[in-house]
Amino acid sequence: MTPLYQIRIQKALADARLQSAIYAATGRLMDHRRQAIAPDVLPDYQELRTQANLIKRHTIENLDHYLEQFEAQVRAHGGRVKYAKDGAEVVEFLSKLAKEKGVRLIVKSKSMTTEEIELNERLENQRLETVETDLGEYIIQLAHERPYHIVAPALHKTRYDVAEIFSRRLGVENEVVPEKQTKIARSVLRQKFLAADLGVSGANFLVADSGAVVLVENEGNARLTTTAPKIHVAVAGIEKLIPRAQDLAVFLKLLGRSATGQALTVYTSFLSGPRRSGEIDGPDEFYVVLLDNGRTKLLADRDKRQSLYCIRCGACLNHCPVYRKIGGHNYPWVYSGPIGAILSPQFQGLTHDPWLPFASSLCGACADVCPVKIEIPKLLLELRSEVMKTREKEGGNRLERLGFRIWAWVMRHPRVYEMLGLAASAIMSDGNGKWLSRAPVLLNRGPFKAWFSQRDFPPQGKSFRHLWRMRTKVARG
């Protein structure tokens, strides 16, 4: 039986409109990035990547220290820090806070971390109205879907989809012009901002020496979320830390460029604590929830802990030939693309979706474009090897192992190898001197079908051994 994920992938592959939407969007993001890091624009791009990698590595290797420093700094600026083991603890904290302060309406800015713990659904279950305010996220929330892309959550929706969603959920006239759709969202959400009692944001960076939450965005919704309501709660994974505010000079140059090709996004907010005496506006209360949700488990693996360097720019998604075909909803978890393929198995366990680390051609584009130099292909290989080891323990793969044992034996015996080669060419050649020309036809069945139905042998001439013998014969002449 075909597994469910394969059926869904086949459906995505057959959807021409979706395919062209993904290709156009990711292609444009690739172009923008390429222009933004061109040597005449950013000559020290590679140096910045190296520095970003070193800083992230240092921070992760000393994470407990920086967590404590961050916490002390937040407190020094009048804010509070809450540690949370998982999503349930985040919601427990938020709903208790909401009850204490009489909160009825929560506005949210875009955050993958809150998607990860399904915060909105959990808050709705507590009867707390929670509204996403990033335009893409708002569309997705109204459609009851999951983000399609780390940076562009509604990448798969056309303007006609949006028109349908808005008229169904907001009761407005059918409007298909994106400018006007944006105006509709602006006016609906403006009322929410002004009425909200609490704003929940994520964090792009947590700055240890400042106790600061750094937010990067283009619309202004994160600024409103963290300014208009009287309470601001930032929910962030513990890996978001960087040691010093000055390190932002490195990370901010990389993040916008890698994500959308912007030298800087429209707004970068550096927020530390509630408004201070004399400041006219800003929240009265400031909380940071530091989320584990499996991250401390990842720290133990010296090699794979580099997965936690990720700054969620989405560049690896845009450049991935697999993501560009299957799209963002065919990955098992909120994180899609190459980074999702290494994060999901580590967070959720390898038994969940053991196929995931194999869904890669290992072309290496992801590692080439990663601004913090995560060795994604290497980690995919390690995860593959872990999957195989568990399967072996379970006694599976007998046939595959037998196959490889035979292969190894044949490779060690040149005579046998040559004989088998001759036999194969006799069966599979079309008699015109082409070697293995009929192989795709003959192999396009049984266990080989999945491979050969999509791929072909390149045209084959004479075998290397044959040519070598001819050459030495000529040389000896």
Partner 1 sequence: MSREHLLHKARTALGRSVGQAPGLAPPVRLRIPETHLEARIASLFRAVENLGGKTHRAGSPADACAYVASVLGSKAAVASNAPFLRECGITGLAGVRTNFTDRDALRAACAAADFGITSADYALADTGTLVMLSSREEARLVSLLPPVHIAVLPRERILTGLDELFTILPRPAEQTSSMVLITGPSRTADIEQILVRGVHGPGEIHVVVV
Q: Cβ of residue 220: shortest distance to partner 1, in angstroms?
A: 3
Binding mask 147-176 for partner 1 (x = CB under 8 A): -----xxxx-xxx--x--------------
Q: Cβ of residue 83: shortest distance to partner 1, in angstroms?
A: 4
Q: According to DSSP H, which parts of 310-456 are helical?
A: 315-318, 323-326, 337-348, 365-369, 376-393, 398-412, 414-428, 439-443, 449-452
Binders of partner 1 among residues 253 to 272 (CB under 8 A) are 253, 260, 262-272
Q: According to DSSP H, which parts of 352-397 are helical?
A: 365-369, 376-393
Confirm or reject binding of residue 141 to partner 1 (CB under 8 A).
Answer: no
Confirm or reject binding of residue 87 to partner 1 (CB under 8 A).
Answer: no
Closest CA to 376 of 335, 348, 349, 337: 337
Other Cβ atoms less than 10 A from the Cβ of 23: the count is 12
Residue 132: phi, psi to the nearest 5? Answer: -75, 140
Binders of partner 1 among residues 381 to 410 (CB under 8 A) are none
Nearer to partner 1, 258 or 272 (CB): 272
Give CA–CA dist 73/243, Å, rounded: 12
Q: Which stretch binds partner 1 (CB under 8 A): 188-196, 403-411, 416-424, 436-444?
A: 188-196
Residue 107: phi, psi to the nearest 5? Answer: -105, 145
Q: Cβ of residue 11: shortest distance to partner 1, in angstroms?
A: 21
Q: Which of 9, 22, 67, 259 binds partner 1 (CB under 8 A)?
A: 67
- Count of residues near partner 1 by CB under 8 A: 101
Hunting for tokens 């962030």 — which residue is that? 236
Confirm or reject binding of residue 11 to partner 1 (CB under 8 A).
Answer: no
Enumerate residues 6+ apart whose C-beta is below 8 A from 168.
none
Instruction: Encode burial over 204-230: b for 16+ CB neighbours within 10 A, e otherwise.
Output: bbbbbebbbbbbbbebebbbbbbbbbb
Binders of partner 1 among residues 438 to 477 (CB under 8 A) are none
Give CA–CA dist 367/337, Å, rounded: 12
Q: Which of 132, 134, 285, 353 binds partner 1 (CB under 8 A)?
A: 134
Give CA–CA dist 264/251, Å, rounded: 10
Q: Which stretch binds partner 1 (CB under 8 A): 67-75, 324-332, 361-369, 404-412?
A: 67-75
Nearer to partner 1, 286 or 333 (CB): 286
Binders of partner 1 among residues 284 to 343 (CB under 8 A) are 286, 290, 292, 296-297, 299-300
Q: Which residues pair with 206 in a beta bridge?
A: 213, 241
Binders of partner 1 among residues 43 to 62 (CB under 8 A) are 44, 47-48, 51, 54-55, 58, 61-62
Give CA–CA dist 98/231, Å, rounded: 10
Q: Which stretch binds partner 1 (CB under 8 A): 42-50, 111-119, 197-205, 383-391?
A: 42-50
Binding mask 412-431 for partner 1 (x = CB under 8 A): --------------------
Binders of partner 1 among residues 210 to 249 (CB under 8 A) are 210-212, 218-221, 223-224, 227-228, 238, 243-249
Closest CA to 158 of 142, 176, 144, 174: 176
Confirm or reject binding of residue 190 to partner 1 (CB under 8 A).
Answer: yes
Q: Cβ of residue 185: shortest distance to partner 1, in angstroms?
A: 8
Other Cβ atoms less than 10 A from the Cβ of 179: the count is 7
Give CA–CA dist 117/268, Å, rounded: 25
Confirm or reject binding of residue 373 to partner 1 (CB under 8 A).
Answer: no
Closest CA to 399 of 409, 410, 391: 391
Nearer to partner 1, 249 or 423 (CB): 249
Q: Which of 10, 35, 68, 355 binds partner 1 (CB under 8 A)?
A: 68
Q: Which stretch binds partner 1 (CB under 8 A): 23-31, 124-132, 384-392, 437-445?
A: 23-31
Q: Cβ of residue 236: shortest distance to partner 1, in angstroms?
A: 13
Dihedral (CA of 24, 26, 32, 34) sign: negative
Strands of the sheet with 285-291, listed across from one edge: 80-84, 285-291, 231-237, 198-201, 105-108, 129-132
Q: Which of 89, 118, 164, 197 binds partner 1 (CB under 8 A)?
A: 89
Q: Which stretch binds partner 1 (CB under 8 A): 40-48, 111-119, 331-339, 373-381?
A: 40-48
Nearer to partner 1, 203 or 359 (CB): 203
Give CA–CA dist 129/195, Å, rounded: 12
What letter would DSSP give residue 230? S
Q: Cβ of residue 317: shortest distance to partner 1, in angstroms?
A: 14
Alpha carbon 415 to chain centroid, angstroms: 49
Q: Which of 18, 103, 117, 139 binds partner 1 (CB under 8 A)?
A: 139
Nearer to partner 1, 51 or 360 (CB): 51
Q: Which of 3, 178, 349, 403 binds partner 1 (CB under 8 A)?
A: 178
